[in-house]
Chain A
Amino acid sequence: GAGVSQSPSNKVTEKGKDVELRCDPISGHTALYWYRQSLGQGLEFLIYFQGNSAPDKSGLPSDRFSAERTGGSVSTLTIQRTQQEDSAVYLCASSPYLTDTQYFGPGTRLTVL
């Protein structure tokens, strides 16, 4: 079956612009996660959705970052007024209800000039 998909695969933007990153989880997966991977750093947790609710937003680095999930499926991560330190690969993962394994998408590489 289809895996987790993310779009765009690459995004180059100018400092101060807003960007939206999209994640399509595996069909039927109730949990959805966003992580960020910077050069030389481990994956850093951003936010977790169960259905359309976000029980854990503790990893969002500032109020410029927000995310939503609609219909228990697609999620969008929005970064407002991008900064150069936001440059990273943004990874989305999903998992079925009451299971531990997270399945990752290919990521979106964000470059802020």
Chain B
Amino acid sequence: EDQVTQSPEALRLQEGESSSLNCSYTVSGLRGLFWYRQDPGKGPEFLFTLYSAGEEKEKERLKATLTKKESFLHITAPKPEDSATYLCAVRLGISNFGNEKLTFGTGTRLTIIP
């Protein structure tokens, strides 16, 4: 069965303290790994898409990387406004339309303490 597991479930960091969030997956036919940020009471906000092992994407203090079995979301010198739940999702399969459902992990709740 295809699975997406995120760790840790929750992470508290001091402002400026860098760390990484993990997303491991056991799927066949991966066709994209996605990172989203979700603030309380809001819908997920798209951050990154990664397609192949070795690929990296960056945005401000965030960098996402991908291997054949997992992805990391590295956060460098975080600020309190980076506090949110970070969701990882994978897309499988092939279709003529190029759109398929995403399978999500349960997320990592990140808290940055001033």
Contact = CB atoms under 8 A, between A and B. Distances in A.
A31 interface: yes
B106 A55 contact: no
Given A4-B43, A100-B91, A101-B46, A33 B101 contact: yes
A107 B103 contact: no
A33 B100 CA distance: 9
B43 A105 contact: yes
B97 A41 contact: no
Nearest to B6: A42
A50 B97 contact: yes
B78 interface: no
A58 to B, nearest CB: 8
Contact of B98 (A41, A93, A99, A104): A99
B102 interface: yes
Contacts of A42: 4, 87, 104-107
B55 interface: no
B44 interface: yes
**Size class of B's contact patch?**
20 to 34
Interface string B90-114: 0100010111111111110000000
A55 B98 CA distance: 12
Interface residues of A, number: 30
B42 interface: yes
A39 to B, nearest CB: 11
Interface in B25-52: 31-32, 34, 36, 41-46, 49
Contacts of B87: 42-43
Given A105-B43, A107-B43, A98 B97 contact: yes
Contact of A43 (B46, B89, B95, B97): B89
7 contacts: A45-B103, A50-B97, A95-B99, A98-B99, A100-B98, A101-B49, A107-B43
Given A50-B97, A102-B34, 17 more contacts: A31-B97, A33-B101, A40-B106, A42-B87, A43-B44, A43-B89, A44-B104, A45-B101, A48-B99, A55-B95, A56-B100, A100-B32, A100-B34, A100-B49, A102-B46, A106-B41, A107-B43
